[in-house]
Structure 1
Amino acid sequence: MDLVLQKHRIKMSRKPNGGVWHTLAEGDWNNSPYHFAVTVNGEEVLVNDPYAKSMTANSEQSAVIDLNSTNPVGFRDVNYSKVSKQDAIIYELHIRDATSSKHSGVKNKGKFLGLTEKNTRNAKGFSTGLSYISELGCTHVQLLPVQDFARVDELHPLESYNWGYDPLYYFVPEGSYSTNANHPYLRINECKEMIQAFHEENLSVILDVVYNHVFRYEHSAFEKLVPGYYFRHHQDGVPSNGSGTGNDIATERKMVRKFILECIDYWLTEYKVDGFRFDLMGLMDIETMQTIRERCLQEDRPILLLGEGWDLDTPLPPEQKATNAQSSQLLGISFFNDLFRDSMKGNLFEAENVGYANGNGYYLERIAQLVSGSCHHKFGKIFSNPLQSINFVECHDNHTLWIN
């Protein structure tokens, strides 16, 4: 295994007690692109660093950076209200959508920096962007994925659109949200500026994270480095597809769990985020989620952990899946309450059942149970603790609830 640093090829050595490869590159390599040359099954491949902290545009190459140079002034000194879980009011948003309107009055539309601009208004005088969000009365913003993702050309971001559920590099902020995707430092600094701006408005920040699948697993750094290890397969060798994206990450394996935990630790300590929303959490294993919870308890502020506990088809025993049915093993972690959503707004798959909010009395008898945390036994116990229920009527998926 070699380190390819700019045009220089540097030999790496494997430590005797484990699978860690290392080397020392003397000189000033700040801002330099790099990747690894790895020989697997007799064939050499070039691989980006899955632990890279930044990238060049469109994830072409990893980049050498000094993290000590990425903090905005006062980033680690902001004092803001730390709201406990029982008082949390969560507002979900997409970085680009939040400020992209031509009428938003925001200069850096669709960018991290767009959500740092204060006192912005549209032509009618209504608050927009950060000002609008801070006036809503919510306590937390939940950001759709900001970790590096595919399907958007970072140099021409307006030519395509993506929510961000096509993850590439988990330690790297998405370049299309930066004012210059080719500058490895800017995306980090600007992401931190946005988080700092939210904190200055007494808003905690939850990241939507996608540890259940990657974009095109066969091209991922995981598969290139250790073929077959990072992803689940059925007994016939076919990759499992509970995620619906063509692959499921094997979170239950030791080095996969280690990677996820180190990623969580990084975003907690380096970016000072206040929580994580786990996409398709039911595809992850209970032990990994418990380990994440234990790590988050070490912080001096409340860290919210929530996720989608849907039971999906993946080769992991049901008793090991982090699903709603296993909530008693996942105390301290919350779940999206789809029964609350359907009862209030209407059934997801039955258009004629419009729900209580739209005048349908169906499920009326369940309302008391739902608003009290879905922990009573009268209609079937969903969760073990009221704090495990995320009572919601709308998120980015499925039908929109709006006032006519």
Structure 2
Amino acid sequence: MLMRQPCPSLQFAYSPPFGATIQDTGVQFSVFSRSATAMRLLLYNNVNDREPAEVIDFDRNTDRWGDVWSLHVPNLAEGQLYHFQASGPWAPEIGHRFDSTARLIDPYAQALAGEYQKCADGVVRPPKCVVVDGAFDWEGDRHLRRDVSESVIYEMHVKGFTKSKTAKVKCPGTYLGVIEKIPYLKDLGVTAVELMPVNEFPIKDSHGNKMDRANYWGYDPMAFFSPHRGYAHDKTPGAQVREFKEMVKALHKAGIEVILDVVFNHTCEGNEKGPTLSFKGLENQVYYILSEGQHYCNYSGCGNTLNGNHPVVREMIFHCLRHWVHNYHIDGFRFDLASILSRDTKGNLIPNPPMVDLIAEDPLLADTKIIAEAWDAAGAYQVGSFGGARWAEWNGRYRDDARGFWRGDGGTLGALATRLAGSSDLYEHDNRPPHCSINLITTHDGFTMNDLVSYKEKHNMANGEDNRDGDNHNISDNYGVEGPTRKKAITVTRDRQIRNMLGTLLLSQGVPMLVSGDEIRRTQKGNNNAYCQDNDISWFDWKLVDKNKDLFRFVKSLIAFRLKQPTVRRKTYLTGQPVDGRLIPDVSWFSPAGVGLEWNQQELAMMAYIAAPSRVDDPEGLGRDLVMMFNSTGQDRTFNMPEIGRGMKWNLFVDTAAESPADIYPDADGPMPSIGHAIEMPCHSLKVMVSAE
């Protein structure tokens, strides 16, 4: 009988067909270029070398196979540094921008090393590519395969999470620094971290005069297959590969999935004025969407647009996704400006775009979560219509409606109810379940939760763009004073509003996404576009964990309740019909008086009665009925329990108007309200009651 032998260390579980591949006798270098007339390999001895130690020409007759240039170099090994260099036509009028002097990043490079090098003529040379072995002992690690409907996502910046001195870690701002803070993530209870871009990007902005501006967020990719070198503690070329894998393995051991924010919509090469670093110098007219064959289409808002539905680029994206999933054990992806993947090679939006369907159907990605930011910078807004049931979406409508309701905007009563119930108006068609809605109120892009209730206007002067950058439509309020204040009435309102929005987010049907630091009131001082703020404006301030420990406890308790309570994370939509023979519908809506709600009323006050799910959806019978009372008005109100709830026993779970610890009862065992009497609901407050067991 044959016995299976475990393989503790794999070089690569998935080997893309291009790039630098280590073989027994050396390294095979392969790169695509259809229009190049010559190709060279530049080999370097040291990361800071300005000139190569050796230049090897590809032989057109023996080293070119179709449109692929492939060359075997003996006696090379892991750690070898290299660039490509291509000759070809300089004909921008038909899309060719070859420069035989440009040093080019391998599009399939597994790692980069070093910094940009400025030349006297103004040309910028990119970091060097690194030949990577990839051997790593995963110790049996596998994808966690948590059901999407049971997820609580935590959007996080790798560097910013531990860079502050307040983090008190050995390896600040790195993959290893994240490992040191895993106990915090475990204590909070999130099930997945969604990492802002971790593939390679310029540490400084590479466009023109902005070279000295920090590129903090990382939404400017240049090597899709490479973990960002800037987040490695060990500065040895290629060390970021090992350290990234150590982080993923450690997060998995803690039961936390890893989702990557990927940017397959543009590159850092910019438009006609941008540098030639990789794609431009290899096959510009294939990798980018061009207008009239020469001008860069700018659907990304970043100068160029990746030609994602061209077969060659599509193949590269698929190899890249598989590479991260099988070589780095990544559990899912969030696709930045994903609507660009719905554009054809001429930039037109098309129905059933092949790229979107193929990602959903790829068998090698079947275990992964796929999440779309379903819009782009050129007006495409596809929230509710991006892809099929495999695709989840950042629900921008949820963000706007939740903010508007709690700010007190008229006409948002029905909108809030729809979002709370799972956004069936957006996702029920095409058999898309509630977990297709990734619910969010804040993201990296915009105000933090603290700033959402502290500022009416953006304050982005520190970005150096005269406050012109960033969104002007924030749906925020300061409640009387712009920025920090000690006025008691204002601080009380802000405290409530933060809890109101976080409570709504974590008790809504769908999948909640929390932004790192919102649970402790991280502030960016009113900056709603901190893309270039690699400093205390953006970094996680660990002093706030203790300062705002009551809010941390509130959020932690909500997450724990959500994970064990199937009533708030159904896999099917609420219908308003009775469940399992009960006379109580799965959801009912009431006015403060306890009678049926009239949706055209202007007053933003209502109750939701959400019944426990059926035994089909809740075989262990863990679900309990909830009554949620919302008062978004500026006046105190009295609520009456509706008739369907009067024959039951209830415990208080959440009361955002109460001071901690009475703002939340982690075991949902708070004092039972007097059902026959009016329930007081102070202004700007949320109260949640749970049926007694």
TM range (shorter): 0.7 to 0.9
Which residue identity is paired with 2:370?
L
Q: Does 1:86 align with 2:149?
A: yes
What SS class does the counterpart of residue 290 from structure 2 fall into?
Answer: coil
Q: How does 1:91-110 map to 2 (within 5 A)?
A: 91-110=154-173
Residue 114 of structure 1: how far off its partner (Å): 0.2
Q: 2:229 aligns with which of 158, 162, 175?
A: 175
Which residue identity is paired with 2:238?
Y
Q: 1:163 aligns with which of 205, 217, 228?
A: 217
Q: Does 1:50 align with 2:102?
A: no
Q: Does 1:335 align with 2:369?
A: no
- How many Å separate the matches in 1 of 2:249 and 2:432? 35
Change (3 A) 1:365 1:326: closer
Which structure has more helix as a fraction of its residues? 1
- How many Å separate the matches in 2 of 1:376 and 1:368? 11
Q: 2:266 aligns with which of 203, 210, 213?
A: 213
Deviations 1:130-162 (A, max 9, x none): 221121121110000000111349xxxx99451
Q: How does 1:30-45 map to 2 (within 5 A)?
A: 30-41=78-89, 44-45=100-101
Decide which moves more: 15-24 or 165-174.
Answer: 15-24
User: CA RMSD for the aligned pairs?
Assistant: 2.7
Q: Does 1:135 align with 2:187?
A: yes
Q: 2:382 aligns with which of 323, 329, 336?
A: 323
Q: How does 1:147-296 map to 2 (within 5 A)?
A: 147-152=199-204, 160=214, 162-181=216-235, 183-217=236-270, 218=274, 219-235=276-292, 237-285=294-342, 286-295=353-362
Residue 79 of structure 1: how far off its partner (Å): 5.8
Change (3 A) 1:325 1:141: closer
- How many Å separate the matches in 1 of 2:252 and 2:439? 24
- How many Å separate the matches in 2 of 1:227 and 1:159? 26
What SS class does the counterpart of residue 23 from structure 1 fall into?
Answer: strand
Decide which moves more: 101-110 or 141-150.
Answer: 101-110
Q: Is the 8 A contact 1:280 1:307 kept in 2?
A: yes
Which residue identity is paired with 1:27?
N
Identity %: 29
Q: 1:375 aligns with which of 416, 424, 445?
A: 424
- How many Å separate the matches in 2 of 1:398 and 1:252? 30
Decide which moves more: 50-59 or 240-249.
Answer: 50-59
Q: Is the 8 A contact 1:149 1:169 kept in 2?
A: yes
Q: Is the 8 A contact 1:115 1:197 kept in 2?
A: no
Which residue identity is paired with 1:143?
L
Deviations 1:265-311 (A, max 9, x none): 1001110000000000011123112212222x4357x3110021115
- Corresponding position of 1:115: 178
Change (3 A) 1:299 1:238: closer
Residue 16 of structure 1: how far off its partner (Å): 6.5
What SS class does the counterpart of residue 112 from structure 2 fall into?
Answer: coil
What SS class does the counterpart of residue 334 from structure 2 fall into?
Answer: strand
- Corresponding position of 1:24: 72
What SS class does the counterpart of residue 243 from structure 2 fall into?
Answer: helix
- Corresponding position of 1:352: none
What SS class does the counterpart of residue 86 from structure 2 fall into?
Answer: strand
Residue 173 of structure 1: how far off its partner (Å): 0.9
Q: Is the 8 A contact 1:306 1:335 kept in 2?
A: yes
- Corresponding position of 2:348: none
Decide which moves more: 50-59 or 229-238.
Answer: 229-238
- How many Å separate the matches in 2 of 1:170 and 1:79? 23
- How many Å separate the matches in 2 of 1:163 and 1:312? 17
Deviations 1:99-155 (A, max 9, x none): 1221212111111110112xxxxxxxxxxx3221121121110000000111349xx
Change (3 A) 1:342 1:233: same
Q: Does 1:10 align with 2:56?
A: yes
Decide which moves more: 160-169 or 261-270.
Answer: 160-169
Q: Does 1:307 align with 2:364?
A: no
Deviations 1:358-403 (A, max 9, x none): 45564111233213322248x9979944232111111101122235
Which residue identity is paired with 1:137?
G
Change (3 A) 1:298 1:32: closer
What SS class does the counterpart of residue 270 from structure 1 fall into?
Answer: helix
Q: Is the 8 A contact 1:324 1:383 kept in 2?
A: no
- How many Å separate the matches in 2 of 1:221 and 1:257? 17
Q: 1:364 aligns with which of 413, 418, 429?
A: 413
What SS class does the counterpart of residue 146 from structure 2 fall into?
Answer: coil
Residue 261 of structure 1: how far off its partner (Å): 0.6
Change (3 A) 1:13 1:109: same
Which residue identity is paired with 1:291?
L
Change (3 A) 1:362 1:40: same
Q: Is the 8 A contact 1:356 1:364 kept in 2?
A: yes
- How many Å separate the matches in 2 of 1:152 and 1:191? 21
- How many Å separate the matches in 1 of 2:323 and 2:144? 22
Q: Which has the larger radius of gyration?
A: 2
Residue 326 of structure 1: how far off its partner (Å): 3.5
Residue 187 of structure 1: how far off its partner (Å): 0.7
Change (3 A) 1:267 1:222: same
- How many Å separate the matches in 2 of 1:242 and 1:3? 33
Superposition TM-score, scaled by structure 2 size: 0.49
What SS class does the counterpart of residue 284 from structure 1 fall into?
Answer: helix
- How many Å separate the matches in 2 of 1:227 and 1:340? 39
Change (3 A) 1:13 1:76: farther
- How many Å separate the matches in 2 of 1:391 and 1:398? 15
- How many Å separate the matches in 1 of 2:430 and 2:360? 20
Q: Is the 8 A contact 1:152 1:176 kept in 2?
A: no
- How many Å separate the matches in 1 of 2:261 and 2:146? 19
What SS class does the counterpart of residue 252 from structure 1 fall into?
Answer: coil
Residue 313 of structure 1: how far off its partner (Å): 2.6
Which residue identity is paired with 2:378?
D
- How many Å separate the matches in 1 of 2:182 and 2:190? 12
Structure 1 residue ranges without an equivalent (≥5)? 118-128, 346-354
- Corresponding position of 1:387: 435
Deviations 1:61-120 (A, max 9, x none): 11122112xx2x4x2513674311111110000011111221212111111110112xxx
Structure 2 residue ranges without an equivalent (≥5)? 1-38, 45-52, 91-98, 116-125, 206-211, 343-352, 451-493, 496-693
What SS class does the counterpart of residue 162 from structure 1 fall into?
Answer: coil
What SS class does the counterpart of residue 154 from structure 2 fall into?
Answer: strand
Superposition TM-score, scaled by structure 1 size: 0.83
- How many Å separate the matches in 2 of 1:28 and 1:232? 37
- Corresponding position of 1:298: 364
- How many Å separate the matches in 2 of 1:271 and 1:239? 33
Q: Is the 8 A contact 1:383 1:389 kept in 2?
A: no
Change (3 A) 1:49 1:76: farther
